[in-house]
Chains A and B, each alone.
Chain A
Amino acid sequence: MFFTKITGSIRTSNSSYSREVAVNSLSGHYRTKFESSNTDQSQLLHPTSLKTSQTDFDWVGNRNAFQRLRNLLTLEKNWDNYGAHPFLRPQVARAFELYSDIYSYYLFREMNFSELAPFIAPCSNGAILFEWAGRRFPSRELEIFVPSAMEATLEFLKGADDLEEEGTFIADEVNGLLNWLFDTES
Chain B
Amino acid sequence: MTQIHQVQPSDKLFRWLHPSQFDWAEMRPTSAAFKDSYMSVDLAHLTTLEESYERGKLMNKNAVASITAGQAFEKAQKVHHCPTQVCEVAGDLVCVTDEGCRAYQADGLSRKLICTNPAHGCVVGDKPKSVARFFAKNAEVDFYPPQPT
Closest Cβ of chain A to B37, distance in Å, is 7
Closest Cβ of chain B to A15, distance in Å, is 26
On whether the beta carbons of B36 and A125 are closer than 8 Å, the reply is yes
Closest Cβ of chain A to B81, distance in Å, is 17
Known A-B contacts A83-B102, A143-B31, A159-B133; A134 and B128 likewise in contact (beta carbons under 8 Å): no
Closest Cβ of chain A to B33, distance in Å, is 7
Interface segment out of the listed A18-26, A60-68, A174-182: A60-68
Binding site for B on A (CB under 8 A): 1, 59-61, 63, 68, 75, 79-83, 119, 121-125, 127, 129, 131, 133-135, 143, 145, 155-157, 159, 164, 166
Cβ 8 A contact of B36, one of A75, A82, A131, A159: A82
Q: For chain B residues 8-40, which have a beta carbon within 8 Å of chain A?
A: 16, 18-26, 28, 30-33, 35-37, 39-40
Cβ 8 A contact of A124, one of B23, B35, B128, B129: B35
Cα separation A75 to B33 with both chains bound (whole Å): 15
Q: For chain B residues 54-77, which have a beta carbon within 8 Å of chain A?
A: 55-56, 58-61
Chain A residues near B129 (CB-CB < 8 A): 143, 145, 155-157, 166
Known A-B contacts A59-B19, A81-B59, A145-B129; A123 and B32 likewise in contact (beta carbons under 8 Å): yes
Closest Cβ of chain A to B63, distance in Å, is 9
Q: For chain B residues 114-143, which have a beta carbon within 8 Å of chain A?
A: 128-130, 133
On whether the beta carbons of B18 and A166 are closer than 8 Å, the reply is no
